[in-house]
Amino acid sequence: MDKLSPEQIFNKTFKYVFFRVLIPIASLAFSLIIMKVISAIMGGEVGWVGTLIWLIFTVGFAFGVEFFVGYKFHASHVAVVTDAVSVGVIADDMDAMAKELVEYRFPSCNDYLAYSRIVKGSIGQLQKHLNVFLEKKMSVLVLGQLIKLAQIFVGAALSFAYDLILGYTFWRDGKTLFTSASDGVAIYYNCWKRIAQNVLILAAELIGGMALLFIFTAAVFMPILAPTYGPLAGGLGGCAVGYFVCTVVKTVIDSRLMIKLMFPFFEEAQYADITEEEYGMTCNASPKYKKLYNKALYEAQTAPQQPQG
């Protein structure tokens, strides 16, 4: 049986993309409703105090929904894609399989947050280390300068790399959580030639597109909101609309690119045999990875390995 293509996997798992998109849409709707309520209470313009209250509610709601609910949609999507890429077929009951893997690895949102913090920190340091190397090796001088001057690309590239590691964590290999994470990061770091350059180029294109979309959306909504809610609240409200619209679009684009990048990553990962020298090189490049590696060693010694599910 032929393996599924990235487009087929995206189409078959689109419902998870849709659920992920609902998070910023819900946050935007809540933000606009809160602005309207505050305006009604204050009898017109929101003012400085009202704007501060609106910001607190908007940021708090967006963070809370993403922290307590959004991570499950994200993790479930990555788990299903990982299974599709590594096995070559979509599970008959995607929801049950995703729930099994997510609950096995992350029983609570706090477990996911602890994992996410240490893995993203490790990848972030390694990505910057790779950028220095790429600046010297890139044949396209302009791109090398963009990587050097615009560190925001690192953050965009990080989001792709993190999904690859998260996918490796869901792979049914019987390893403990942080051992899988440690190995996944080491594999990514040591096969960057096949992945990192494409990730950075895609990140550059994505950041440019999102910047234009944000400016356009904010410019449209600022004059709409400002007459009713005042220049400060209206201006920030327009920016909020632009941010959440960009988040929706970026979620869809990220999902397609994540699936595409899973293929070369798992071609390396499924047959990878990481040496102690490679672990050492990765530890030397990132102190945070060294912490992750030590955590994996401790976990492997104290927790018995068993097959997932």
Task: Report pLDDT digits (tens) over 115-128.
Answer: 999 999 998 888 77
Query: Closest by alpha carbon to 231, among 54, 46, 59, 52?
Result: 46
203: burial class by Cβ within 10 Å (0-12, 13-18, 19+)? buried
Query: Closest by alpha carbon to 122, among 185, 178, 166, 78?
Result: 185
Taking each helix axis as running N to C, give the angle between helix 152-170 and helix 177-190, from 0 to 180 degrees, rounded to the nearest 10: 130
Could you give the CA distance from residue 171 to residue 167 in angstroms, rounded to a whole number? 6
Phi and psi dihedrals of 301, rounded to 5? -80, -30
Could you give the CA distance from residue 167 to residue 260 in angstroms, rounded to a whole number? 13
Beta strands in 209-273, from DSSP E residues, in sequence order: none
Query: Residue 215 has which token pair?
Result: 């400016």
Could you tell me the residue ranges of all domains in the chain?
6-302
pLDDT (tens digit, 9 = 90+) per residue, 170-188? 987 778 899 999 999 988 8
pLDDT in tens, the chain (309 residues): 457 888 899 999 999 999 989 999 999 999 999 998 998 888 777 788 888 999 999 999 998 888 888 889 999 999 999 989 888 888 888 999 999 999 999 998 889 999 999 999 998 888 777 665 555 544 444 444 554 544 555 555 566 788 889 999 998 777 889 999 999 998 888 776 566 555 666 666 677 778 888 899 999 999 988 888 888 888 989 999 999 998 888 888 888 888 888 888 888 887 778 888 888 888 988 899 999 999 999 887 886 555 444
Place of tokens 């933000």: 31
Residues 199 and 265: beta-carbon distance below 8 Å: no
